[in-house]
Amino acid sequence: MALEIEIDGKKLTVPDGSTIMDAAHQVGTYIPHFCYHKKLSIAANCRMCLVEVEKAPKPLPACATPVTDGMKVFTHSDLAVKAQKGVMEFLLINHPLDCPICDQGGECQLQDLAVGYGGGDSRYQEEKRSVPEKNMGPLVSAEEMARCIHCTRCVRFTEEIGGFQEIGMAHRGEFSEILPFLGKTVDSEISGNVIDLCPVGALTSKPFRYSARTWELSRRKSVSPHDGLGSNMVLQVKHNRVYRALPLENESINECWLADRDRFSYEALNSDLRLTKPMVKQDGRWIETDWAAALDYVSHGLKDIIARDGADRVAFLASPHSTTEELFALKKLARALGVKNTDYRTRRADFRADALQNGALWLGGDVVELAAAKSVLVIGSTLRKEQPLIAARLRQSVKKGTQLNLLALADDDLRTDTHAKLVVAPAALVNALAQVVAAAAELKQESCQLSLDAVSISDEARRIAASLSEAETGAIVLGNLAQHHPAFSELLLLAQELSRLTGARFGLFGEAANSVGAEVFFRPDQGGLNAAQMLAQPQAAYVLLNTEPDFDAHNPQLAKATLGQAKMVAALTAFRSPELLACADVLLPIAPFTETAGSFINMEGRLQSFNGVVKPLGETRPAWKVLRVLGNLAQANGFDFSSVEEIRAEFAKQLNADRVTGLDNTLKTDAAAVSTAVAAEGLQRLGEVPIYQADALCRRATSLQQTADARAPILGLHPDTLREQQLQAGQTVTVRQGEAEVSLTVGEDATLPSGVARVPTAHPLTASLGAMFGRIDIVRGK
Amino acid sequence: MAIYASGVIFEGVDTSDAGCWHLDAYLKRGGYQALKKILENKIPQDEVIAEVKGSGLRGRGGAGFPTGLKWSFMPRSFPGEKYVVCNTDEGEPGTFKDRDILRYNPHSLIEGMIIAGYAMGSRCGYNYIHGEIFEMYERFEEALEEARQAGLLGQNICGSGFNFELYAHHGYGAYICGEETALLESLEGKKGQPRFKPPFPASFGLYGKPTTINNTESFASVPFIIRDGGTRFLEQGKPNNGGTKLFSVSGHVNRPGNYEIPLGTPFSTLLEMCGGMRDGKKLKAVIPGGSSAPVLPGDIMMDVTMDYDSIAKAGSMLGSGAVIVMNEDICMVKALERLAYFYHEESCGQCTPCREGTGWLYRVIHRIEHGLGRPEDLDLLTSVGNNMAGRTICALADAAVFPVRSFTKHFRNEFEYHIEHKKCLVNHKWC
Amino acid sequence: MLSQESIEKIDRELAKYPADQRRSAVMGALRIAQTEKGWLATETIEFVANYIGISPVAAYEVATFYNMYDLSPVGKHKITVCTNLPCALSGGYDAAEYLKQKLGIDFGETTSDGKFTLCEGECMGACGDAPVLLVNNHTMCSFMSREAIDKKLAELK
Ligand SMILES: Cc1cc2nc3c(=O)[nH]c(=O)nc-3n(C[C@H](O)[C@H](O)[C@H](O)COP(=O)(O)O)c2cc1C
Ligand code: SF4
Ligand code: FES
């Protein structure tokens, strides 16, 4: 039913259930407010939005008052303005009036509105209250809590969007204080959003605090370089330096949020770990050199090796965090040199699906569609850590009735209700998914098109199958852990079959900002080696683009050994890393995403381009320019592009508006057989990538590295396993994988299946270990 | 010791008998006859509600909303759980009647709530009991157990097939939980912060389910209404002000206590029942309906009758029926300061005007009382109060402002004197 | 952390509410925990929160919102005197003054032997019995004249 309403004389109709605030938005009328936020529940506590409503004896809060048919609202009448001014006076009596020294100065909603209501002298002559500072952790500063106006947006955010109330308003009345639980910090992976939500200078960015005034900063649009969502951001820049990252609202992607890594990873850009000059290794010693010499070195090196060992002994590995243009140009260079070995899937273990793929793997639809699905099955994902904002979106979907089902390797707290879940050891993941497939086949009374061994179907598997089958719309998504799993091909085949049986669509979460771009443009050519092969079978030369073998490889131990045997390793990188210094022969400083133009293709296949927001640091150059020179030095054709736009034009035929073409999750299934045997010897490692070790930027973002999520990895074991191994939590043990041993603290983790050793990968402490899901041994007596 | 006149709730209750609250004593007084009558005769829900409507019973918690009408708002046919909740969070300064209902006659409340559950299609109820009267919470739990054992509560009550469960929940020191939606929040295990209305509890109450909340005295009046008829109840009082009412009289009278008297009884009669003014002092002022009600000068009070309409006409409200009597020794600035302190202490803190305003009011009154008043302070109090009243989620802000308005109106000279001479006009003595 | 007896009591509280509304029992659980421990330490609140299944800060909000929870240690006997207006008119302040004098402490303080803590209270719903004291949150003492106070303190020693 539509309701008629008149706001300040403007007539409009709004749907039943709208508030006066909703209606005002529709006609572009601004009603002052603090506690109201469109993504949060309505609190109606600040009382700033009081408006006059015809026939109502008192002013009513626009944010909470439902529209009734024929309602007449006056937002600027005497009554309304008087009420608003009264509230403003109350807000200011205990608020410090020192905007010039407040970190929020210039972007403070209270300041803006207070100026508008111009109270002048304060009638409040009593002492202002003082409020002790709070410690919310390394990201959010709560040092100036006297500025808090108790709107409770931060509280509601942690509870409603974050899924777990980490901030509360304790005490009552005038003594109310916003705080985290005593001794606890705010550890959500999306905590930084409370900084944006706080309308005053109470919660501010700890890394940014007092480093610049907002009016000195210019705002430039960009795209997050982390997970495959492609969050839109505004980067704020002064003196050629990025000072801050803020969300740029895009309802279909990141809504109005950013994950903490999107927001705080910029710190790495300014770190002294940046590589700012080309370097070459001579007689085992690194020397800085100029670009011409360095490029000449690489060019000659490649030419010689190709001449002597053949182009099939040359490997190009790139990170999916690289831009599409960089990957396209590198691929072009590879082809010009006759190199077929190009790949980006350095964390993948299983490539058997390559032969079956009909196209590039992707999410299989839009994120908005995923969130709208009535039933979702997520397979092999640490969801919150891999996809913080998608996890937050699904949390909202669950509240609206979506059934979230999981096939997980650990029963991590997703801070949302789940419908059904199977938590299994890595070796049992295929079996678990096969159970769901078999259950769906039973339910649909269809035969399975895969030749599948018999499985015994658990109740949870049935619940999952039923949920997907009965839902109007369903989605099946394979997460990072599934993609890194040694039986990824089976998982993919089973997901496809489950999709066929239940009608749910299936796809992959994008691990990196440009996983889909890399999938389209950087897989090996016919006959070329894949990443695992390149890292297992020593090649004569390697070109690494944004790749750090110790952190980015499925088996870092093997990768390091293999690279160590190469005749030449040339690394294009923004950072100097100990490992690259050890294994490379030449380091070329290339621009991170803020210093070059480019584009990322997110997991939906959506191409989002961006410009550099600052000049490259030192002698850093955008990779695409470096590759152009290398192409020219190789005397290859087609290396005269003078901008990323020109490169983009070269692949324009693979674009349809802002979407890339060639995406197809279907697999050829002829004669595909899936073994569901669960076989594992000894302890199975569960080696996920920690959230702030996923890419080169996060790893070097100092504040992110101080968060709870960045704590040093421990050896997590189920209590039963602890007992079997006669270990105790807190004890230090040596674990061995392959050749290497490292010492780790033992932790009890009841969320794990027994027989699993949770030892994260991609961390300095564990980088010498082997495969993410390999066997791991606990060595005692050391 | 408190003294009771005969009436509805305390009819036949011998408060000197330590066993008077037990089930057997209640049964002897005719207890649970109303419930049995309904169940045996399968009286339709509509008829029960009509009887309550006809009784003219108005909510005894403070707002005086007609109870029968409130019950009729419950979506009886709504599938799923519906709740009946009793408000025994009696925290309004001056009010202490519900404590005595639990102390001497808890089964009248239990029976009233079961009938309410029957009438509104609810199978579950909670009684929210003020934390400070914890002994009454324990007693109420015992009374519930007695009723359960006797088959009067729980599954298949009296073999009728009707089920109703009732539980006690205690507060723990927050006046605001007397506000019905704060009470619901508290019952849900949260801070007692009132909810914005709409939606009203009848559609979105406890756990988001349809809920009816009544005061203890309201529920406890129901067995009489059903057993003896709404008309009999109505006739005890006067039109639009049906029944008897418990008045909690405190302050400077000879016999403070609870008095159950017909609505419409002259205040002067009530004062006489209380043994008149203590020490023969002169009546100065009365707050007739709990601390949130506007204060009235003694001479105005002597002309009112104790019912909703008469007190409203005199410029105050019957509220919860707490009659706070003050004699000539009281400095009205000091008295107001104490009340202002209370509201400042008890504001839940969510609404800006209440959170900030209650403290502001208190500090200004405190200053005046301590000889630091300024000539502009009385206007300031008025203006700050105007910016609070009617601008918040619940009525606590209004409750904080009413005393300020009424004290400074009726006893303005004392405030002016205080500001000018930096001391009390009267030779203040609390008691 | 809490005794078996307390846990059983908390379980009895939990049984009053629908299975998916465990949070409702937090007030009762905190009261039971406080009765056992004397006051609510951070660990106690966290334990209760985890037992009920709510976030610790949500339990902390509750513990700090309601006046009768003690967030710091109190004496063996906590005595709360109502001084609200109705009680003040019948000796609330006199009782408070007398207690302060006798115990040698002010509101919010604990005697040096750790026996008594004195608190100022708001309306307890017993104004007709003024002056009233609440002992250890759960015992209401009515008509507390000086003699009655003397007697009570002697009993509590
Ligand atoms: C600040 C405030 C405190 C209140 N305290 C109480 C109370 O202690 N007891 C009570 O029954 N009602 C109290 N009320 C009124 C309740 O909100 C509600 O109107 C009442 O419980 C309804 O029951 P009734 O219709 O039977 O009166 C209070 C209201 C406000 C705004
Ligand atoms: S008016 Fe006061 S007590 Fe009532 S909800 Fe608002 S802040 Fe809380
Ligand atoms: S925005 Fe409406 S009350 Fe805060």
Q: State the distance from the centre of ligand 1 to the C-alpha of B60, rounded, in angstroms.
A: 8
pTM over 0.90: yes
Q: Which ligand is nearest to the CA of B352?
A: 2
- Is residue B130 a contact partner of residue B173, using CB atoms and an 8 Å limit? no
* Closest ligand relative to B181 C-alpha: 1
Q: Do A168 and C60 touch (CB under 8 A)?
A: yes
| B358 ligand 2 Cβ < 6 A | no
Output the average pLDDT for chain A.
96
B-C contacts at Cβ under 8 angstroms: 169
**Is B289 touching C (CB cutoff 8 A)?**
no
Question: Cβ contact (<8 Å) for B335 and C128?
Answer: no
- C120–chain A Cβ distance below 8 A for any pair: no
* Probe residue for ligand 3, chosen from A25, A37, A47 as the CB with the greatest number of ligand atoms within 8 Å: A47
Cis amide bond preceding A549, omega within 30: no
Fold of C77-156: Glutaredoxin (3.40.30)
Q: What is the largest CA-CA distance in chain A?
A: 91
For chain A, percent of residues with pLDDT exceeding 70? 99
Q: Please compute Rg for chain B using Cα positions.
A: 22
Contact A87 B353 (CB under 8 A): yes
Q: What is the pLDDT of residues A231-255, one digit of tens each?
A: 999 999 999 999 999 999 999 999 9
Indicate the pLDDT class of residue B61, thresholds 50, 70 and 90. Answer: very high
Phi, psi of B217, deg, nearest 5 = -65, -35
Chain A contact for C58 (CB, 8 A cutoff): yes
Interchain pair B173, C23: CB under 8 A: no
Instruction: Mark yes or no for CB contact C58/A168 under 8 Å.
Output: yes
Q: How confident is the model at residue A703 (pLDDT cuts 50, 70, 90)?
A: very high
Query: Band of the pLDDT at A560, cuts 50, 70, 90?
Result: very high
Answer whether A181 sits within 8 Å of C60, measured CB to CB.
yes
What secondary structure letter does DSSP report for B281? P
Q: How far is C45 from chain B (nearest CA, A)?
A: 14
Answer whether B288's CB lies under 8 Å from B301's CB.
Answer: yes
CB contact under 8 A, A173 and B198: no
Distance A69 CA to ligand 3 centre (A): 22
Per-residue pLDDT at B1: 45
- The residue of A85, A90, A110, A179 whose CB has the most chain B CBs within 10 angstroms, and thus the best one to mutate to test that interface, is A90
Nearest to A19 by CA among A125, A9, A31, A181: A31
| Coil, helix or strand at residue A703 | coil
Burial class of residue A741, CB neighbours in 10 A (0-12, 13-18, 19+)? middle
On average, the pLDDT of chain B sits at 96
What separation in Å is there between the alpha carbon of B213 and the centre of ligand 1?
A: 9
Q: How many whole angstroms separate alpha carbon A678 and alpha carbon B40? A: 65
Peptide bond into A61 cis (omega under 30): no
Nearest-CA distance from A696 to chain C in Å?
34
Q: What is the pLDDT of residue A678?
A: 85
Q: Do B93 and C85 touch (CB under 8 A)?
A: yes
**pLDDT of B53 above 80:** yes
Partners of chain B (3+ Cβ pairs below 8 A): A, C
C4-65 has which fold? Arc Repressor Mutant, subunit A (1.10.10)
> Exposed e or buried b for every residue in A12-29, given b needs 16+ CB within 10 A?
bebeeebbbbbbbbeeeb
Of all atoms in ligand 1, which is nearest to the CA of residue B395? Answer: 31
C neighbours by CB contacts (3+ pairs under 8 Å): A, B
Q: Quick one: A732 exposed, middle or buried, by C-beta within 10 A (0-12, 13-18, 19+)?
A: exposed
Q: Are strands A655-656 and A659-660 parallel, antiparallel or unpaired?
A: antiparallel
Instruction: Establish, for the pair of chains A and C, how many residue pairs have beta carbons separated by less than 8 Å.
Output: 38
* Cα–Cα dist C157/C142, whole Å: 19
Determine the pLDDT at residue B101: 97
B316: Cβ below 6 Å to ligand 2?
no
Please give the span between the terminal C-alpha atoms of chain A, in angstroms, as a whole number.
74
Q: Mind listing the pLDDT tens digit for each residue in A605-640?
A: 999 999 999 999 999 999 999 999 999 999 999 999
Residues of C in contact with B104 (CB under 8 A): none
Nearest atom in ligand 3 to A36's CA: 1
Q: Residue B238: which pLDDT band, with cuts at 50, 70 and 90? A: confident
Helix axes C42-52, C56-65, angle to 10 degrees: 120
Q: What pLDDT digit, counting tens, does each position of A95-130 carry?
A: 998 888 899 988 999 998 988 886 667 899 999 999
Q: Measured between CA atoms, how close is C40 to chain A, in angstroms?
A: 13
CB-CB: which of B352, B367, B391 is closest to A91?
B352
| CB-CB contact of C85 with A192 (8 Å) | no
* pLDDT (0 to 100) of residue A671: 64
Q: B356 and A173: CB-CB below 8 Å? A: no
- The response to whether residue B218 sits with its C-beta less than 6 Å from ligand 1 reads yes
Inspect the interface and report whether the beta carbons of C56 and A170 lie closer than 8 Å.
Answer: no
With 90 as the cut, is the pLDDT of residue A82 above it?
A: yes
**pLDDT at residue A100, rounded to an integer:** 87
User: Chain A contact for C55, CB < 8 A?
Assistant: yes
Q: Work out the percent of chain B whose per-residue pLDDT is above 70.
A: 99
| Any atom of ligand 2 within 6 Å of the Cβ of B182 | no
Partner-chain contact A166 C42, CB within 8 Å? no
Q: How far is the CA of B65 from the centre of ligand 1 (A)?
A: 10
The residue ranges of DSSP E strands in B5-110, in sequence order, are: 83-88
Q: In the predicted model, what is the mean pLDDT of residues A666-678?
A: 83
Chain C residue with minimal CA distance to A181? C57
C27-48 mean pLDDT: 98
Which residues in chain A have their CB less than 8 angstroms from residue C55's CB? 159, 164-166, 168, 181
Helix (H) or strand (E) holding B315: none
Cα C157 from Cα C153, distance rounded (Å): 6
Give per-residue pLDDT as tens, A712-769: 999 999 999 999 999 999 999 999 999 899 999 999 999 999 999 999 999 999 999 9
Measure B394 CA to nearest chain A CA, in Å: 11
Judged by a CB distance cut-off of 8 A, whether residue C18 touches chain B is yes
pLDDT tens per residue, range C78-131: 999 999 999 999 999 999 999 999 999 999 999 999 999 999 999 999 999 999
CB C139 within 8 A of CB C126: no
Q: How far is CA A427 from the centre of its chain?
A: 27
- pLDDT, tens digit, 9 for 90 and up, residues B162-216: 999 999 999 999 999 999 999 999 999 999 999 999 999 999 999 999 999 999 9
Domain coordinates in residue numbering, chain C: 4-65, 77-156
Site from C23, C32, C65, C93 to mutate, B interface, most B CB atoms within 10 angstroms: C65
**CA of B100 vs chain C CAs: smallest distance (Å):** 9
Q: What is the ipTM of this complex?
A: 0.96
Q: What is the mean pLDDT of residues A17-31?
A: 97
- The kind and range of the H/E element at A85 are helix A78-93
